[in-house]
Amino acid sequence: MPELPEVETVRRGLEPVLAGARLERVILHRPDLRFPFPEGLAERLAGRRITALSRRAKYLIMHVEDGEAILSHLGMSGSWRVEHGEDRAAPGAFHHERSKSSAHDHVVFELTPGTGGRARLVYNDPRRFGFLLLVSEGELGEHPLLAHLGIEPTGNELSGAYLAERFAGKRAPLKLALMDQRIIAGLGNIYVCEALWRAGLSPDRPAGTIGDRADSLADAIRVVIAEAIEAGGSSLRDFIHADGTLGYFQHGFRVYDREGAPCPRCHGTIARSIHSNRSTFHCPRCQE
DNA sequence: CGAATGACCTGTGAGC
DNA sequence: TGCTCACAGGTCATTC
């Protein structure tokens, strides 16, 4: 499901409820997500306060008092949703609609938000590619899952010069180089396709041949990610915000999932191809 | 080292 | 209606 813009959208949605909230009880419904839960996770978290919520690449980081952090990855189909106290007392249409997916509610945090009242934070993940880990704050940077991540595409580090340097000598296609989390962390299938279209670059072009197009690629990445965050991410099959609303960036796709449709720039026909078993969408006419 | 492939899971939609 | 197949936003392990 989620690439960087979706995870950032989740972070922003959860922050008002989570920051300062006290975890009253943690309920683990099934232990077999991608990684098994750490030993005693529920007991270790009970009674502690969440101090802040941050993000690194596609990871959500819930900072817990006393120097630990919950590392949450949503895999392909994970989502967090917030249920407020009043929803439980009188289950409304909202929960009724979504009751079908509750079979995949794997984790529930019962909490007292800093603003008072009661709330439940529920992790739902049909495919169970996501996971939760508990890591000490001091070890976050060196954690194997985070240590080798590349730069964030939202910051000043992303530049044509950076791309040119990291892509130098690479014969791998641009599509794969951009998917490589060790170079830029947070891009996934959708936004790589969209960024390449915006830059007018073919996904098949060897990354090392980026040359003087590196600046425009860096710009395209920055812009597409910013626009997607602004739009609240893309809601394809099952991405919903913590409050149940939808992102709308999917309406802004130029190529993704548009095989056979006309290119908005040159009216060529959008093609679908495969890189590493993932679909790639591009316009063969204006992406070189 | 890099590149290609399969594996992990379940749900959904298309086509027959 | 019901079956089968392809495919889905991600990452990791294994094999050259």
| CA A165 to C1' B4, whole Å | 24
Could you give the dihedral angle defined by the CA atoms of residues A237, A179, A79 and A61, in that order, rounded to the nearest 10 degrees? -170
Chain C nucleotides near the protein (CB, 7 A): 7-12
User: Would you state the pLDDT for residue A87?
Assistant: 47
Q: Which nucleotide is nearest to A170 (CA to C1')?
A: B2
User: Would you state the pLDDT for residue A92?
Assistant: 38
User: Would you state the pLDDT for residue A48?
Assistant: 98
**SS3 (DSSP) at A139:** helix
| CA A30 to C1' C14, whole Å | 28
Mean pLDDT of successive 10-residue stretches along chain A, which has 288 residues: 92 96 96 90 96 97 97 95 69 40 91 95 95 95 93 96 94 96 96 97 95 96 96 84 88 95 96 94 96
Structure tokens at A177: 């180089």
Nearest to A204 by CA among A216, A192, A212, A186: A192
Residues 56-115 of A with CB under 7 A from strand C: 57-58, 73, 75-77
Backbone angles phi, psi at A136, to 5 degrees: -75, 145
Cβ atoms within 10 Å of A41's Cβ, excluding its own: 18
User: Would you state the pLDDT for residue A90?
Assistant: 41
The answer to whether A273 CB sits below 7 Å from nucleic acid chain C is: no
pTM of the model: 0.94
Q: Active-site positions of A?
A: 2-3, 58, 278
Residues 20-39 of A with CB under 7 A from strand C: 34
User: Would you state the pLDDT for residue A33?
Assistant: 93
* DSSP H or E segment with residue A55: strand A50-56
